[in-house]
Amino acid sequence: MEFSGWDSLVSVDGVSADLWSHAFNIELDRARDRAFLTWSSVPLRQDDPGQEGHHRRYQIEQVVTLQGPRAVVEYYIIPNEPVRTVDLTVGAYKWYLRDLRHEGETFSFLSADLTRQDAERRLQPGRLTRVPVRSLVPAVTVRPFVNQFGAYALDFSYEVANPRTYERTLVARLEVTEGPGGPAIQR
């Protein structure tokens, strides 16, 4: 499963942009099994001269923590000036989400060992792994994306009002684990 910058969007006080359009920085903390990815709104302001008041100054931070067969993915906003509302859509995709199920705050699917092209040629996988994805912060909405071959992405949408300037405010927290009954089904 990939948490994608091009499929994730942030709207700060009504101004929207995908995370890929932001400047980014990556930091690894191997001792703690963590990775930090920070997106900055600076290029959005630079690409729109004369609109300084239009774009807000902020950073979005993604923190991934690995704990055995479990990964926790957190998203924070750090505003550098007063912000009223933050809407974050986290795009998570995998070609394809077989047997997609929804129960409470958890979605689960079977992940195949196939490339997108192999899946679209309807080849049979050699292995399937049940993958639960649980939103630990309740999402406002979760929307699956489907094409003629099946579900391929989930968009989790979150809202935060009035985050404190210069402080990290948690917006989203997702947990991805191996499913019950072991890591994989061999075919």
pLDDT tens digit sequence for 91-124: 988 889 999 999 988 999 999 999 999 999 999 9
**Is pLDDT at 50 greater than 70 in this prediction?**
no
**Is pLDDT at 34 greater than 50 in this prediction?**
yes
pLDDT at position 187: 45
pLDDT band, residue 185 (cuts 50/70/90): very low
Q: Do residues 186 and 102 lie in contact, with contact meaning Cβ atoms separated by under 8 Å?
A: no
Domain boundaries, position 41: 2-186
Report the pLDDT averaged over residues 61-66. Answer: 93
Domain of 37: which CATH number? 2.70.98
Report the pLDDT averaged over residues 62-80. Answer: 93
- Structural domains in the chain (count): 1
pLDDT at position 44: 60
pLDDT > 90: percent of the chain: 53
**Is pLDDT at 37 greater than 50 in this prediction?**
yes
pLDDT at position 183: 45
What is the rounded CA–CA span in Å between residue 153 and residue 97? 7
pLDDT tens digit sequence for 174-184: 999 976 544 44
DSSP state letters, 112-168: ES--HHHHHTTPPPSEEEEEEEEESS--SEEEEEEETTEEEEEEEEEEEESPPTTS-
H or E segment to which residue 72 belongs: strand 70-79
Report the pLDDT averaged over residues 130-148. Answer: 95
What's the whole-model pTM score?
0.85
Strand partners, 112: 128
pLDDT at position 184: 45
